[in-house]
Amino acid sequence: MDELIALSSKNLEALSARARIPGYRRSDLTAGIVHIGLGNFHRAHQAWYLHRLFDKGHDRDWAIIGAGVRPGDSLQRQKLLAQDCLTTLIELHPSGKSAEIIGSMIDYIAVEEGNGQLIDRMSQPDIRIVSLTVTEGGYYIDPASGGFDSSHPDIVHDIAHPETPRTAFGAMIAALRVRRDRGIGPFTGLSCDNLQGNGNILRHSIVSLARLTDPSLAAWINEQCSFPNSMVDCIVPATGPNEINLARNFGIDDTVPVTHENFRQWVIEDDFCTGRPAWDKVGATFSGQVGLYEAMKLRILNGGHQIIAMPGELLGIETIAGSMAHPLIREFLRKVITEEITPHVTPVPEMTSTEYLDLVDRRFSNAEIKDTTRRVAFDGSSRHPGFLVPSIRDGLENGVSVSGLALISAVWCIYCEGKREDGAEIEPNDPNWDELSRVAGEARQTPSVWLEMRQYYGDLADDELFAELFSNWHVMIAGQGVEAALEKYLTQQ
C-alpha cells in the first residue's frame, strides 16, 4: 500500500491520484445552509449533491455549515474540523469500490449547552436554508395521536427556556425570532428524514413549539417560512473500523469516511421561500408529487428493511445482504411486499411498484455493502409505526391480507426480549428498549399485551383479525423459531 496521506485541504492535489477530488477552489465557497444532525447519511446524500453542483460551476454561495445539538456531536465536529470538513465517500458498487472526496461543507458550529452559536449562525442573512437529519423519532410527535408531544422533557425545557433551547427546533425558533425582529426575514426548513410528509411534520413541530411561548412568532413562522416535503434515498452504513480501513486501502487517512451504495434519489417540492441551489442539475427531482415517491420508498424500501433485519438478527445474520442470501427471508420479503404492501402503493411516473421491488431486491443484495441488521433494526419503536403500521391499516380496511405484517410484528416482539435463537444476547437497540423488553417478556404469557402499546399500534389491538394473527405467529415463533414461521407463511395460499 502507498504511504497514507492525511485528508486535508493542503493534501488534495496529492490525493488526486487516489480519489476523485473537488473540481473547485473551496476558498470560493460561501455559506447558504446550516445542516443540523451531520451524520453519514447527510454527507453521502445532500452534501454530495451540493458538491457535484459546485463541480459544475453552479451556486457556490450555498455551502454547508454543520451543526449538532447533542453532546455527542462534539466528537464528530472535532474529527471533521481536523480534516478541514472534508469527507471521503467510498462507493460500494457490486463490481468494485471507488473513492471521492467531497468539500461542500466549510465549517462546523461549536456544540454547546443553550445552542447560542447555532442560534447566532442561523440568524445571519446568508443562511437561507436550515436542513435536518435528526432521525424519524426526533420530531417530538406522539406516534399514537400524531400530535405534538409537548410533555417530552426536552420540549418542557425549551418552553421554560426559549432563549437557551435544548432542541434543534427550539434553536430554529430562537433564530427566526431574531430574524423577524431585525427584519432579516425567514429561512426554509428542509427535513431530510425518512418521514412521509416530512416537511409538514417539521412545520407542525416548529409551529407547535413556538405557539407555546410566542403565538405571534408562531403565526409569522407559519406564514413566512417554507417547509418543503422531500424524499431521500441512499443506503449508508455506519462507520467503524472496516470503513476506516477501506479509506486506508485507497491511501487516505480519514477518521470519519462514509461508505454508500451506488444509488441515490432525492425528490423535493419546489417550495423555498429564500431561494435554493439548482440540485436538479445534478440529478435531484423537483416534483409536486413527492407524496407518491415517499409512499413507495417508505413502505417498500424502509418497510422492507424492517421485514428482513429483525428475522436476520434473531438468526444471527450480521448483514442485510446476508439476510437476502437466506432463501426464506428473501422470499418472505418479496411475498409480503407483493401481496400486502404494494396493493396500497400508487406507482410513480418512472416506475411501477413491481419494478421498484426488483430495484430494492438488487440493492439489499449488494454484498459490498456491509450494512448490519443491527443498524437497520435500530429504533423499531419509530420505524414500525412509520413504515409498517400504515400498510396494516390499509390492508384491514381494504380486505387485503396482513398475515405477513402480523408475523413481522411478532418477530419484533420476540426480538425485544433481547435474545437470539442461539442464546446470544441482543444489546439494547431502541431508545425505548427497557419498556419494550418488559412488555415483550409479558407477551410470552399473553401475546396481546404487545399490541396494547397504543403509542405504536393505536387501536390495532381492538381488531380481532390482526390480534389473532399476531398471537398465532408469536406462539409459533416462541415455540418453533423464526424459520418455521417463515416456512408456514410462504406455503400459505
In a 13 Å sphere around the CA of 261, the CA atoms on its Cβ side amount to 21
Q: Is the dihedral of CA 398, 382, 90, 311 positive or negative?
A: negative
Bridge partners, 65 (sequence order): 34, 107
Query: What domains are defined for the chain?
Result: 5-286 (3.40.50.720), 290-491 (1.10.1040.10)
Q: What contacts 294, CB < 8 A, 6 or more positions away?
A: 196, 197, 198, 229, 231, 267
The rounded distance, in Å, linking the Cα atoms of 192 and 268 is 10
Q: What percent of the chain has pLDDT over 70?
A: 99
Predicted local confidence at residue 74, as pLDDT: 94
The rounded distance, in Å, linking the Cα atoms of 97 and 89 is 10
- Measured CA to CA in angstroms, residue 329 lies from 247, 310, 332, 361, 474 at distances of 32, 10, 5, 12, 17
Local structure of 420: helix, strand or coil: coil
Sole residue written with cell 444509488: 263
Q: What percent of the chain has pLDDT over 90?
A: 93
In a 13 Å sphere around the CA of 456, the CA atoms on its Cβ side amount to 21
How sure is the predictor about 493, in pLDDT bands with cuts at 50, 70 and 90? low
**How confident is the model over 20-39, as a mean pLDDT?**
97
Q: Is the dihedral of CA 169, 206, 271, 283 positive or negative?
A: positive
Question: Which tens digit of pLDDT belongs to each residue from 172-217?
Answer: 999 999 999 999 999 999 999 988 899 999 999 999 999 999 999 9
Q: How far is CA 218 from the centre of its chain?
A: 27
Q: What is the pTM of this model?
A: 0.87
| pLDDT surpasses 70 at 144 | no
Question: Which tens digit of pLDDT belongs to each residue from 251-309?
Answer: 999 999 999 999 999 999 999 999 999 999 999 999 999 999 999 999 999 999 999 99
Q: Contact 482/314 with Cβ under 8 angstroms?
A: yes
| pLDDT surpasses 80 at 16 | yes
Helix (H), strand (E), coil (C) string for 97-134: EEEEEECCEEEECCCCCCCHHHHHHHCCCCCCEEEECC
Sole residue written with cell 452534501: 47
How sure is the predictor about 388, in pLDDT bands with cuts at 50, 70 and 90? very high
Q: Which three cell numbers stand for residue 389?
A: 403500521
| pLDDT surpasses 60 at 486 | yes
| pLDDT surpasses 90 at 385 | yes
The pair phi, psi for residue 58, each rounded to 5°, is: -110, 150
Extended strands (E) in 262-300: 265-268, 285-286
Q: Contact 200/139 with Cβ under 8 angstroms?
A: no
Q: Contact 180/220 with Cβ under 8 angstroms?
A: yes
Q: Say how many C-beta atoms besides its own lie within 10 A of residue 52's C-beta.
A: 19
Question: Which tens digit of pLDDT belongs to each residue from 229-245?
Answer: 999 999 999 999 999 99
Question: Which tens digit of pLDDT belongs to each residue from 89-126?
Answer: 999 999 899 999 999 999 999 999 999 999 999 999 99
How sure is the predictor about 145, in pLDDT bands with cuts at 50, 70 and 90? confident
Q: Is the dihedral of CA 40, 46, 49, 55 positive or negative?
A: negative
Q: Which three cell numbers stand for residue 97?
A: 469500490
| pLDDT surpasses 80 at 54 | yes
Q: Say how many C-beta atoms besides its own lie within 10 A of residue 464's C-beta.
A: 8
Predicted local confidence at residue 143, as pLDDT: 67
- Measured CA to CA in angstroms, residue 304 lies from 251, 265, 344, 436, 478 at distances of 36, 17, 15, 21, 23
| pLDDT surpasses 90 at 397 | yes
| pLDDT surpasses 90 at 146 | no
Where do the H-state alpha helices sit in 251-318? 290-296, 303-314
**How confident is the model over 166-174, as a mean pLDDT?**
97
Q: Find the radius of gyration of the CA atoms of the chain.
A: 23
The pair phi, psi for residue 332, each rounded to 5°, is: -60, -45
Q: Which three cell numbers stand for residue 464?
A: 380481532
Helices (H) and strands (E) in the chain, counts: 24, 13
Which residue type is seen at 106? I
Helix (H), strand (E), coil (C) string for 244-262: HHHHHHCCEECCCCEEEEC
Q: How far is CA 454 from the centre of its chain?
A: 23
Extended strands (E) in 200-290: 230-233, 252-253, 258-261, 265-268, 285-286
Q: Contact 73/85 with Cβ under 8 angstroms?
A: no
- Measured CA to CA in angstroms, residue 120 lies from 169, 306, 462 at distances of 14, 39, 49
How sure is the predictor about 1, in pLDDT bands with cuts at 50, 70 and 90? low
Bridge partners, 190 (sequence order): 131
In a 13 Å sphere around the CA of 152, the CA atoms on its Cβ side amount to 17
How many residues in the chain?
Answer: 493
Average pLDDT, the chain: 95
